Structure 1
Amino acid sequence: MTVLILCRERTEDVVKLLGGLAAKGITACAASPAEVSFSMQSGKALKVYVGSEPIRPVLVFGWVSLQAREMGLALLQAFEKAGVPVINSAAVLSAGQSKMINSIVLHHHGCRHADTIVVTNEAALNKLLPEVGLPCVVKPLIGAKGMDVRLIKNAEELWRHARLQFARGDAVYLQRELAKPDRDIRVRVFDYEADFAFYRYLSPDGFTTNLSTGGAWQACELTGEMKAVAERCARLMQAPVCGVDLIETEDGFSVIEVNTTPAFSWPNDDNVEDVCRLIENRLGAA
């Protein structure tokens, strides 16, 4: 019996997680969605294959995003329907990777969050733009690692971007620019408990703070307020593993988003053990 890590690719996180689980005596393997196959025959148990090798998954760790997202979410749903426990589940990953759903959940539950509009046509954009103003932040509806997140400073640039999106049948997601320091805060949460926090400083692009875009980091104290905000957000998103991104404002912390496929190794490899412990606990409860 095997723990299957369904991932986009074998990142450093995945490699270290495999090593951590092996150290606990837990058999695990990693696969991308393109490597997983099913066989269903009348009267027989579901068969799962990685490549051409059969496995018996007792738990699936869902870690798919970007180009692996569509098929990955379908596979996670399939495992759930077949009675195999999944963390993070397809619904959690789907909601967390959608900027729109992220914002709606945070807004609905009264979390402090930047003013946001999601518009699908020029008339709506013309009417709602004053609610976020210019300059404003544009983000892709589905995205990760700071990709295509940028500050739009004038109406000409905004309308050029919006019309391209509308022509493709896509919505436009815009947020009010918040007055902020040159950093934000990532809080890592495991099994709904905040464990580690660090500052993320501006990357060379002068706007994003993602480590993947060259942002620098520095460990920071995990305060009681950070912990409470991050753990509440994790529960609202039903995400046992997540990263909650915060901005420091004069009135306290504002939530940027809840990332449901965050890095959990570098810059603090201790967090790999947190994920291993979560998986071990779930196996024990099954």
Structure 2
Amino acid sequence: MVHAPLIVLLGNDDDDDDHRVLFDEIRRIGGAARRVHPDELVIEVTAEGTRFHTGGAELRPDLLFGWVYEDYLVLGMNQLETARLAGIPVVNSAMTLWQGQSKYLNSALLHRAGIAHLPVLWGRDEETLVSWTARRGYPMVTKPMMSSRGRGMACLTDEAAVRRHVAALDPAPEQYYVQPFVPAGHRDTRVLCVNHRAVAAVTRTAPPGTWISNAPGGGRSLAELDRDVCELAERAAEAVGALFAGVDVARDERTGDLRVYEVNTCPTCTATFRELGLDPVPLTELAAFLVAAARDFDEARRHWRPSVTVRPGLTVRPDSRSSSTTI
């Protein structure tokens, strides 16, 4: 009998729909899957080795998949790194998640790899930000260091707005993170990548009355996987080390140049794809990669490629197999 590799997703139930689709496919193709909340994972470290427990029983994962962010990021990072040190393959490792969710590390890695990104300034000093924005020109966009779905983003249009923004920062360690505004028709494209390969892309348009393309209530449409967009997104995912990534790309209307806003390391897609009447193919492709990586991590990293990509005009209906599964 062929061993069913156990893939443990470390995360909570905030993205339950995505986890359900992922686990359905893992089980369909011969793997075993389980989600463990960071609060429920117990780790024993002794001279003899490292063991993992949950619910009073020992857990023997063949691979850990990190899906932790915000409140559980630091705890989950410690657990994922402990697993890696114990010799367990980890997809989206502790450092990958940190680099994906920390805006300033994201920017540093993208610029270091020569990815078309944006100049950014982060810190707390008010006068430095005032002079930097005046020199580069308005408008500017400010984002929280760690956030999602457009929460906390603001547009700074003059020096007074800059000074108000700095004054409103919470006591240390909160800092500003500021970059130039890109005129892109209030839209961007999220490219979903598995093992640094583009699988699908969705164009996101800001809801009426705002310029934030990933805000709730905005428009969504399937995007063409243009070669230049794919290549840029794949290089960005690789720069951050994200084996599952959502790369946000925009095209500057003034110059036609592409810019990567950021690389997300816990990207959701089920709700969007179902809204479009499509199967969430990025998650089913992710399942195939995880099963392959659980069996032979190095081999999967070198040779696994997506079997399906999603493009406009291709209709992929939700599969009846993806119904009810206990996570």
Distance 1:247 1:125 in 2: 25
Q: Which residue of 2 aligns with 1:28?
A: 33
Distance 1:147 1:32 in 2: 24
**Which of these residues, 167, 179, 186, is aligned with residue 183 of structure 2?**
179
**Which of these residues, 295, 301, 308, is aligned with residue 284 of structure 1?**
295
1:28-47 maps to which residues of 2 (within 5 A)? 28-43=33-48, 45-47=49-51
Please give the secondary structure, in 2, of the residue aligned with 1:207: coil
Distance 2:94 2:70 in 1: 14
> Structure 1 residues 109, 47: CA separation in 2 closer, same or farther (over 3 Å shift)?
closer
CA deviations 1:238-281 (Å, max 9, x no partner) are: 11110111111233211111111111434141222111111112
Distance 1:223 1:18 in 2: 30
Q: Which residue of 2 aligns with 1:239?
A: 242
Please give the secondary structure, in 2, of the residue aligned with 1:46: strand
Structure 2 regions of 5+ residues with no counterpart? 274-278, 298-327
Please give the secondary structure, in 1, of the residue aligned with 2:96: helix
Please give the secondary structure, in 1, of the residue aligned with 2:210: coil
Q: Which residue of 2 aligns with 1:14?
A: 19
- How far residue 166 of structure 1 moved from its aligned partner, in angstroms, is 6.6
CA deviations 1:53-91 (Å, max 9, x no partner) are: 321011001010111111111111111111111111111
Distance 1:42 1:92 in 2: 28
Q: Which residue of 1 aligns with 2:317?
A: none
- Is the deviation greater in 186-195 or in 48-57? 48-57
Aligned 8 A contact 1:3 1:58 in 2: yes
Q: Which residue of 1 aligns with 2:310?
A: none
Aligned 8 A contact 1:118 1:173 in 2: yes
- How far residue 161 of structure 1 moved from its aligned partner, in angstroms, is 1.9
* TM-score, structure 1 as length reference: 0.92
Q: Which residue of 1 aligns with 2:308?
A: none
- Is the deviation greater in 94-103 or in 10-19? 10-19
Match status 1:272 vs 2:283: yes
Aligned 8 A contact 2:81 2:94 in 1: yes
Distance 1:126 1:252 in 2: 27
- How far residue 131 of structure 1 moved from its aligned partner, in angstroms, is 4.2
Q: Which amino acid aligns with 1:117?
A: L
* TM-score, structure 2 as length reference: 0.81
State the number of aligned residues. 284
Please give the secondary structure, in 2, of the residue aligned with 1:187: strand
> Structure 1 residues 80, 132: CA separation in 2 closer, same or farther (over 3 Å shift)?
farther
Aligned 8 A contact 1:121 1:166 in 2: no
Distance 2:229 2:172 in 1: 39
Q: Which amino acid aligns with 2:16?
A: T
Q: Which residue of 1 aligns with 2:212?
A: 208
> Structure 1 residues 190, 253: CA separation in 2 closer, same or farther (over 3 Å shift)?
same
Distance 2:135 2:87 in 1: 45
Q: Using the aligned pairs only, state the percent identity.
A: 26
- How far residue 95 of structure 1 moved from its aligned partner, in angstroms, is 0.3
Please give the secondary structure, in 2, of the residue aligned with 1:206: coil
> Structure 1 residues 245, 79: CA separation in 2 closer, same or farther (over 3 Å shift)?
same
- How far residue 39 of structure 1 moved from its aligned partner, in angstroms, is 2.4
Distance 1:16 1:166 in 2: 38
Distance 1:75 1:270 in 2: 29
When the two chains are superposed, the root-mean-square deviation of aligned CA atoms in Å is 1.9
CA deviations 1:143-168 (Å, max 9, x no partner) are: 22222112123332321221232743
Distance 2:144 2:207 in 1: 19
Distance 2:270 2:154 in 1: 27
Greater relative CO, 1 or 2 (CA 8 Å, sep 6+): 2
Aligned 8 A contact 1:185 1:245 in 2: yes
Distance 2:256 2:283 in 1: 33
Q: Which amino acid aligns with 2:147?
A: G
Match status 1:225 vs 2:228: yes
